[in-house]
Structure 1
Amino acid sequence: MSTNSTAEPGPTTQYITNGILGILVFSLNALSLISILLSRSFPARQKVLFFSLLLTDTLLGFQILCVRLIPIRYNSEHFLCKSRLYTGIIFTYSTILSNLFITIERLFSISLPVNINRQITWKKMAIVVALIWTIAIILTFSFFATDFEGPVCQFVVVGNLTGYVVLGFSICIVFLIIVVMYAYIAKVTRRHIRQIAATMVGNNPVTNIGIVYQNKADLRTTVTVGIIVGIFGISYCPMGVYLIYSGLYVSDVTAFIATNQTIFTIMLTFYVMNSLINPIVYIFRLKKCRQEMIARILCRPQPDFLNPNHVT
């Protein structure tokens, strides 16, 4: 088998495109990851929550820079090909499970606010994140451990088609579950806002201010999670449908990919855009983390909300 056969674009175009995407994905996610981890204003439980997604996106950018930009041509038998495809599938599974995880956490936070603060600690959530990665690795190697063979190194063209069908169904089913849960979250959040507005009285302004602040914080977090979930659906579901269709209804996947290269490129672009847009959402939505990171970068005094002597 030839070691330089490929169905991918010319090397120059490929290296430039992957270089730009890799730098953007890695730098934006790494900045957001550092911002959240070093933040002293961000709750520990939510640090773990966003860490589960940012870690996947950061590693994806690192993979693009380290594997896809190596100036050699390789086929499916090459170690770099297997590394690229294995990690891509692991990242996909970990991303869809992490999105499910943050939605479940938001569901519990809205429905059982007292119990979740007392019983669900950041350490327990860190264990869940480790479990998510373990499941992603097990699922990947269960379907693809011995079946990466083919004349080219390209997603779907090589590997176990059954595994890609399972992955496609996993993406679509998990997203539907998330949508149902988020619809309930939005409903409960709206009900809480109405109840708080109905019980607000002027007898205890300090308590009222605290309730309003917590209500706004919950609403903002709910909206942020909704944006993340929406981006996940737009980015991953087209690829999920594509995997299901190509695995179930296409007899010659290699020829199908070759004749539908533009469609495949669009699907893959949407897939990568999820990791590119997520950190932008964090930067704009997580105001305190953004302000704290800017203060660190510019060596400015800490904002008032980080000053322990500041009285609100």
Structure 2
Amino acid sequence: MTQSGPKTELGDFLRSRRARIRPEDAGLTAFGGRRRVPGLRREELAQLAGVSVDYYTRFEQGRAENVSEAVLGAVAAALRLDGAETAHLTRLVRNAGRGAPAPAAEEPQRVRPGLLRLLESIPDTPAFVLGRRTDVLAWNPLFAALFADFAALPPQRRNKAWAVFLHPATRDRFANWETKARDLVAHLRFDLARHPHDPRANALIEELTAHSPEFGPMWRAQEVSGKTHGGYHLRHPLVGGFTLAYEALSLPDDPDQTLVAYTAEAGSPSEAALRLLAGAATGERARTPA
């Protein structure tokens, strides 16, 4: 995954989830002795999951071979993981049991012509296609007017995480920037577990860690989430502040591509702001990197 490796990623994630739960909240009487760290100890988690302390220790260290679905489910339940976290844990366990594959050239992600036509057919809706490691694969004019002119950026900079953390104009669009940043970091970590040996993803994480003081602490928090739906308070120099909701639809035939569209509540000031931006973007076409 990152330079720390899949086994370390697994251990870091499990320790971060244990730290969230107090023994008394899990119905346990805390083991004796002074507690050096918050949350559950390994012994307490093993008790909740119904496995031996030795087995759980090896599990957390990525040394438990052929972990069953029952054990994964028991650990996930003991840690109170949600659906995205459980899927993430499963991937981390499987990654820890595999060696790194032989290096291979990555095929560029391509957006189907039909999907580009779909972006063009909704000129009043900001929409884009999100790829691996939060790459922006294609977008329509209103999305560019709303956030950034991705066509003017070098191909390696057409990335949502890079733009939100390191592109001042995009960063300034989010009135609740920290919420957006945390969401992006959680999605980036979720994506990385699906492609643990992606060199471009690792390079992106290293760059963000080096140049953004906020990224490192957010990354170490081990939060994970898929891209589903939500909303953000935005601000734009042309229309001021407004609120948009988004829906993210993963493509059935390509789980590495997600269509994301933003909408405003009907009849709201936010809808009026969006219409004004749409008028400014009229005449452009949906774009995809060459």
TM-score range, shorter chain: under 0.3
Q: How high is the TM-score relative to the length of structure 2?
A: 0.26
Q: How high is the TM-score relative to the length of structure 1?
A: 0.24
Return the structure number with greater relative CO, CA threshold 8 A, min gap 6: 1
